[in-house]
Amino acid sequence: MVRPVTRRDFLNGIATGAGGLLLQGYSGTGARAAQSGPTMLSESLSTSYYPPTLTGMRGSHDGSFEVAHALAWRGEKPSQYETLDEHYDLIVVGAGMSGLAAARYYQQKMGPKARILILDNHDDFGGHAKRNEFHQNGRMMLSLGGAQNLESPSGYSNAASNLMKDIGIDDEFVASMAVNTPPDQFLAGDMNAPNGVSLPGPDGHATLAGNWLAIMYGGEGYEDYIRKLPITSNEQDKFIDFFGGKRDFTDDLSLTETWEYINTVSYNRFLLDRVKLDETSLPVMNAMLVHLTGMSGWNLSVLEGITQGGPGIKSLGWLGRTSASIAGAFLGSLLNVKMFPDGNASVARLIVQKLVPAVAPDMQGPKDVAIARFNYDALDRANQATRIRLNSTVVGVREIGGKHVEVDYVQKGQALRVTADHCVMACYNALIPHLCSEMPKAQKEGLRYGVKTPFVYANVQLANGQAYEKLGAQMFQCPHDPFQWVSSAPGMSVGGYEPPRGPDDPMVVFMMNSPMTEGQEQGSGRDQLRMGRHRVYSTPFAAYEQQIRDQLQSMLGRHGFEHERDIRAITVNRIPHGYAYPYLSLDDPDWEKGEAPHEIGRAQFGRISIANTDSEAIALMDAAFDAAWRAIEEQTAGK
């Protein structure tokens, strides 16, 4: 997800775009082979509870959302609760990045003996930073099930930077991550790395490697490349004009009119009305956008579209050339992003180990976090100061007499109650009004305003990488398919992990689905986000599985791939409540400081504070940390 470029940012000439995500792994086309073999298990897998190896439907899995939906949709929750003999200094609702950070900040400020309870409705911690772990023939393969952006801590706030340093991640370590990231990693430092496009054709997918990203920006050889695409020659002509900037598509407008146009018209409407593209070409132009922002070109203005991943920067004349500095900074930020092989799940693991050392007592830090075996049985032991209680959906939070907070939750059908001196709500903003019914109306409205961006990340374990290697690139945009991006899983030797050595080794294919590509001009962006969320929830695992098998068979079949034989496991990470709402030019006012809904919604409410990326309106990890710091400072003021 990206940090949005606001209208005020543009006017001030400030490029705040930040994102990044390339999820590269084994490459048979020039990537450095690992110096040693793939990661081997030092001990056999135990039969104890260990969520990262679970396959099938993950993310918002069965059992994680039903209680919350009953409360939010129908106002249903238990009428009686068993009050446990447990009182804490702090209860945190949500074990995502912000919740874990809040617990760590509190622990650091109040001391290791501070009693902390973290409650989460999922069966694993980390929020959107999910770890997907696969095993074959004694080898471990990792991929990510959500958030993955990791930037140099020196670019974070002091609070966020200090937290990163606390868990062992500083600029020096991030630099070492770059060294251990193989060359030819697209958007991980090498803009000339092979990346392609794959479009359905009459005989299966027409898959072109090369450098598709450069082609979309009018790079060298783009005309010849476009002529190979399985689209009509007339549409090819339009692509060539648009990518190469052969004409200014706003040349009939004055500068003032152009500025008004690019801020008030959707990117897709611009593509249809002025570039005259066929509607079937919109997914091609949107494939980068949906992965970087979670939004389609129907949700973004022309300015937002071209500065956050959509092609066309050369086709807006003088204003386009001016905008190019923002787009360039945005793409440049992609190159500065590093990642663990399981994404930010490793960051979550590092924080959890600080909070509950017994979970991985032998782990040394970032250098072995990726391969460390976590003991989930140690998360919620009565004899430790900090406890993480999973599979626990909070249904009520209230301040009692200004002296303490009661927290009601449901765990595997049991209605339970615990108390604390303070509470941090590090969950989905829109759920908080249902949990804290006594909040002021204006604050509830602020909390309900934003709608999170839905997405689906799938990981597919293959018996080997022989067929994938023959594609000629690590990553492909697949704009007309259910999963718009297909890549090999992250292939960096970071955190002690060693990726597959070559095509004969087993591999994991990472696939991304955005439900937003089906949206048209139907209401606001928030309305379309809600429709996308409904599509995610209403699509069963069997449907996703069939889509995955069909797509991979069509892409890889000509290279000897047979899905029934070669697919060993499928994990679908369903995230219907995903990235924080960033505000959109087409729908939202340019609020003055302090007046935006997220600012009104995050106000301290007595002994209750709010910490999540929703409260910052920025879907980045450091924003989650900043929110956590603010919440803990509110609750410990004067201590």
Q: How does pLDDT run across 446-464, given as a tens digit for each residue?
A: 999 999 999 999 999 999 9
Cβ–Cβ < 8 Å for 483, 551? yes
Checking if the pLDDT of 17 tops 90, the result is no
CA-nearest of 268, 201, 204 to 229 is: 201
Both tokens of residue 336? 């500065």
| Average pLDDT over every residue of 507-528 | 85
pLDDT in tens, 242-278: 998 888 999 999 989 999 999 999 999 999 999 999 9
pLDDT at 271: 97
| Average pLDDT over every residue of 114-133 | 96
Q: Residue 518 burial (CB < 10 Å; 0-12/13-18/19+)?
A: middle
pTM of the model: 0.90
CA-nearest of 626, 422, 476 to 3 is: 626
pLDDT in tens, 83-93: 999 999 999 99
pLDDT in tens, 166-178: 999 999 998 888 8
d(C-alpha 389, C-alpha 380), whole Å: 6
If one counts every other C-beta atom within 10 angstroms of the C-beta of residue 616, the result is 22
d(C-alpha 442, C-alpha 615), whole Å: 15
DSSP H helical segments within 293-364, as ranges?
Answer: 302-307, 317-335, 345-355
pLDDT at 217: 85
pLDDT at 19: 30
pLDDT class of 43 with cuts at 50, 70, 90? very low
Both tokens of residue 373? 């075996």
Residue 466's contacts (CB-CB under 8 Å, 6 or more residues apart) are 503, 504, 559, 560
d(C-alpha 291, C-alpha 490), whole Å: 16
pLDDT class of 481 with cuts at 50, 70, 90? very high
pLDDT in tens, 217-249: 888 899 999 999 999 999 999 999 999 888 899
Beta partners for residue 386, in sequence order: 116
DSSP class of residue 301? B
If one counts every other C-beta atom within 10 angstroms of the C-beta of residue 158, the result is 9
d(C-alpha 286, C-alpha 288), whole Å: 6
pLDDT class of 48 with cuts at 50, 70, 90? confident
pLDDT at 22: 26
Checking if the pLDDT of 12 tops 80, the result is no
Checking if the pLDDT of 586 tops 90, the result is yes
CA-nearest of 344, 387, 428 to 167 is: 344
- Residue 90's φ and ψ, nearest 5 degrees, are -145, 135
- Helices 345-355 and 97-110 cross at an angle (nearest 10°) of 30
To the nearest whole number, what is the mean pLDDT of the chain? Answer: 88
d(C-alpha 220, C-alpha 457), whole Å: 32
- Residue 33's φ and ψ, nearest 5 degrees, are -75, 145
d(C-alpha 145, C-alpha 76), whole Å: 31
Half-sphere exposure of 226 (CA within 13 A, CB side): 26
CA 241, distance to chain mean position in Å, is 33
Checking if the pLDDT of 293 tops 80, the result is yes
pLDDT at 218: 87
pLDDT in tens, 352-379: 999 999 999 999 999 999 999 999 999 9
Beta partners for residue 508, in sequence order: 461
pLDDT at 86: 97
Name residue, tokens 């009182």: 87
d(C-alpha 293, C-alpha 309), whole Å: 8
- Residue 154's φ and ψ, nearest 5 degrees, are -65, -20
| Average pLDDT over every residue of 566-572 | 98
- In what helix (H) or strand (E) does residue 88 lie, and over which residues does it extend? strand 82-93
The residue ranking higher by pLDDT, 611 or 186, is 611
Beta partners for residue 338, in sequence order: 150
d(C-alpha 158, C-alpha 164), whole Å: 10
pLDDT at 521: 63
3-state secondary structure of 304: helix
How do the residues of the chain divide into helix, strand and coil, expressed in percent and rounded to 5?
A: 35, 20, 45
CA-nearest of 214, 215, 209, 263 to 236 is: 215
- Rounded to a whole number of angstroms, the distance between the first and last alpha carbons of the chain is 36
| Average pLDDT over every residue of 328-342 | 64
pLDDT at 534: 94
